Homo-oligomer: A and B are copies of this chain.
């Protein structure tokens, strides 16, 4: 492995390393000596390097390629003036870390909070997040997951248009801003998961092709060009991304990665890039004595993604379980558009609850093919579940959250479904108090043609789905501002109650001796299609719990089939305390007792 980028060595010396196997000459021009250029030497693997003296952190630099083109560094650590300008030299040794005793958070203990730096606060910076950590901690959050922070064009973007995988977004606060946030998180025992995009780069500011064969034309992916992970010169591309992962662990103390859409990482070679990434991450973890986790978004429902390396799998620690989301969403909203047509029955959610993947090989009507493999053998901590996330909100035509779609009762119900599941729960920022801000698709490109193209394509989508073409303009700063959270909401009314309800659920999940075990063992479940009731019984060495979810919007009579025991209710979402319709389930349960449960509510008993 070869470390790429501009490594500041101290004493005004900097080592420049860049991969460009097909170029005839590479030189570096540095702002502190603008009339000079330093020629790099190429090794047999196509890496060029040079050590330059009289260089200071903060200096800007550009590579001069074949004496023709000036380009920022593909492994730039900071693009102080955006994607089209010079890179900046960063001293990664200088940050005053105070997390030396940090041991990380085990996957089983993670309550993940996904946040977008730009819209989480009105400032839109890493620094502005820090004062909010206490409140997240109070809620019970143990890990924040940052949407991508790699440098993207302009200062408004979800982050998936990043073009410098090593550069921390300048408008968010750059490298020092991110380090300060991670350090503050660790101080408060919160882990930091970083969303990284190894499947494509955005449409503006990508100069990788000027350096090396980073891309392949073998595949035609959904977004942009496919990275060359398996063809001629792939070793340099693989190194670039493997080193990128190590860079986040080492220079930023990142605790876990969330790998974006791994189905877009095309690799037909012997050892999939992700297997290399798992191995490299494992080695680093071993050296550090602290486990770094790899989590992934995947559209494949392929159990090999999460199966261990020893068992022949790729060995990703946990993957987002879209099937859980879709089952829950289709059930509570009744929506059947697009992929929701493959879901909607209580039995789907039951299978998601018990196994993880709902599609385990059967025909999926929306996909028009058989889909998935069985995940029954995989432990519960391999799945990350959610009722909302940036995509499931943001990809809706008007970016509306469940807050806009569901009753208050149903909002509590979905919270319970996620947080009482045996899986690793993830909340999307603002969900915990039912923020009403949409999460819209916002960009801030600088190329007029590209902006028009995106605007037209969005207008076309609005039209096709029967909405006004001018519903919103992705490039308009107002679109971004509308997506920012309304923190003041959580101080009052039902928002405040919802927040307290989430806090209570998280507290129960973390302290109840059965709920805090991420295990599918001892979980039995029964559903009733017509009545949309789900009854779940979980037992562990340390106790038993029983919960009933009513996904129908009317009261339901039922009889609980559960082992004779001393059952005490510990939570009822229809309680007046939670602004509910009023609890009608008894505080204790007797066998064969006829029971009634309020519409869109749930209750939790323990024995």
Chain A: residues with CB nearer than 8 A to chain B? 217-221, 230-235, 263, 266, 268-271, 300-304, 312, 361, 363, 367-373
* Residues of B with C-beta under 8 A to A266: 268
Report how far A370 CA is from B270 CA in the complex, Å: 10
Question: Do residues B234 and A369 form an inter-chain contact, with CB atoms below 8 A?
Answer: yes
Known: A217-B220, A220-B217, A235-B370. A263 touches B270 (CB 8 A): no
* Residues of B with C-beta under 8 A to A270: 300-304, 361, 371-373
Residue of B nearest to A236 (CB): B369
Residue of B nearest to A368 (CB): B232
Nearest-neighbour CB distance to chain B for A432, whole angstroms, equals: 36
* Residues of B with C-beta under 8 A to A303: 270
Query: What are 15 A-B contacts with C-beta separation under 8 Å?
Result: A218-B220, A219-B219, A219-B220, A220-B220, A233-B368, A235-B363, A235-B369, A235-B370, A266-B268, A268-B300, A270-B301, A270-B303, A270-B304, A270-B361, A270-B373
* Residues of B with C-beta under 8 A to A220: 217-220
Residue of B nearest to A237 (CB): B369
The residue in A230, A269, A301, A361 that gathers the most chain B C-beta atoms within 10 A of its C-beta is A269
Binding site secondary structure of chain A: loop
Report how far A232 CA is from B363 CA in the complex, Å: 11
* Residues of B with C-beta under 8 A to A263: 268
Report how far A219 CA is from B217 CA in the complex, Å: 8
* Residues of B with C-beta under 8 A to A217: 220
Residue of B nearest to A360 (CB): B270
Identical chains in the assembly: 2
Report how far A371 CA is from B363 CA in the complex, Å: 36
Question: Do residues A233 and B268 form an inter-chain contact, with CB atoms below 8 A?
Answer: no
Known: A219-B219, A270-B300. A369 touches B232 (CB 8 A): yes
Residue of B nearest to A302 (CB): B270
* Residues of B with C-beta under 8 A to A219: 218-220
Report how far A270 CA is from B313 CA in the complex, Å: 12
Interface pairs A-B: 7 shortest CB-CB: A232-B368, A312-B312, A270-B373, A234-B369, A270-B302, A233-B368, A235-B369
Residue of B nearest to A373 (CB): B270
Report how far A367 CA is from B233 CA in the complex, Å: 8
Report how far A406 CA is from B300 CA in the complex, Å: 52
Question: Do residues B268 and A369 form an inter-chain contact, with CB atoms below 8 A?
Answer: no
Report how far A232 CA is from B372 CA in the complex, Å: 13
Report how far A230 CA is from B561 CA in the complex, Å: 43
Report how far A260 CA is from B269 CA in the complex, Å: 18
* Residues of B with C-beta under 8 A to A312: 312
Report how far A232 CA is from B303 CA in the complex, Å: 20
Nearest-neighbour CB distance to chain B for A462, whole angstroms, equals: 25
* Residues of B with C-beta under 8 A to A271: 373
* Residues of B with C-beta under 8 A to A302: 270
* Residues of B with C-beta under 8 A to A233: 368-369
Report how far A268 CA is from B370 CA in the complex, Å: 13
Nearest-neighbour CB distance to chain B for A108, whole angstroms, equals: 27
* Residues of B with C-beta under 8 A to A218: 219-221
Nearest-neighbour CB distance to chain B for A364, whole angstroms, equals: 10
Residue of B nearest to A359 (CB): B270
Report how far A219 CA is from B266 CA in the complex, Å: 10
The residue in A219, A312, A368 that gathers the most chain B C-beta atoms within 10 A of its C-beta is A368
Report how far A80 CA is from B157 CA in the complex, Å: 61
Residue of B nearest to A21 (CB): B368
* Residues of B with C-beta under 8 A to A268: 263, 266, 268, 300
Report how far A219 CA is from B226 CA in the complex, Å: 11
Report how far A312 CA is from B311 CA in the complex, Å: 9
Nearest-neighbour CB distance to chain B for A574, whole angstroms, equals: 42
- A-B contacts besides A218-B219, A235-B370, A270-B373, 20 pairs, CB < 8 Å: A217-B220, A218-B220, A218-B221, A219-B219, A219-B220, A220-B220, A232-B367, A232-B369, A233-B368, A233-B369, A234-B369, A235-B363, A268-B268, A268-B300, A270-B302, A270-B304, A270-B361, A270-B371, A270-B372, A271-B373
Nearest-neighbour CB distance to chain B for A567, whole angstroms, equals: 41
Nearest-neighbour CB distance to chain B for A218, whole angstroms, equals: 6
Residue of B nearest to A217 (CB): B220
Report how far A221 CA is from B232 CA in the complex, Å: 15
Residue of B nearest to A230 (CB): B369
Residue of B nearest to A300 (CB): B270
* Residues of B with C-beta under 8 A to A361: 270
Report how far A123 CA is from B301 CA in the complex, Å: 54
Report how far A303 CA is from B271 CA in the complex, Å: 11
Report how far A270 CA is from B218 CA in the complex, Å: 20
Report how far A268 CA is from B222 CA in the complex, Å: 15
**Residue in B231, B304, B370 whose CB lies within 8 Å of A369:** B231
Nearest-neighbour CB distance to chain B for A316, whole angstroms, equals: 15
* Residues of B with C-beta under 8 A to A373: 270-271
Nearest-neighbour CB distance to chain B for A70, whole angstroms, equals: 27
Report how far A270 CA is from B271 CA in the complex, Å: 16
Residue of B nearest to A44 (CB): B363
Nearest-neighbour CB distance to chain B for A489, whole angstroms, equals: 42
The residue in A234, A312, A369 that gathers the most chain B C-beta atoms within 10 A of its C-beta is A369
* Residues of B with C-beta under 8 A to A372: 270
* Residues of B with C-beta under 8 A to A231: 369
* Residues of B with C-beta under 8 A to A300: 268-270
* Residues of B with C-beta under 8 A to A367: 232
Report how far A373 CA is from B272 CA in the complex, Å: 12
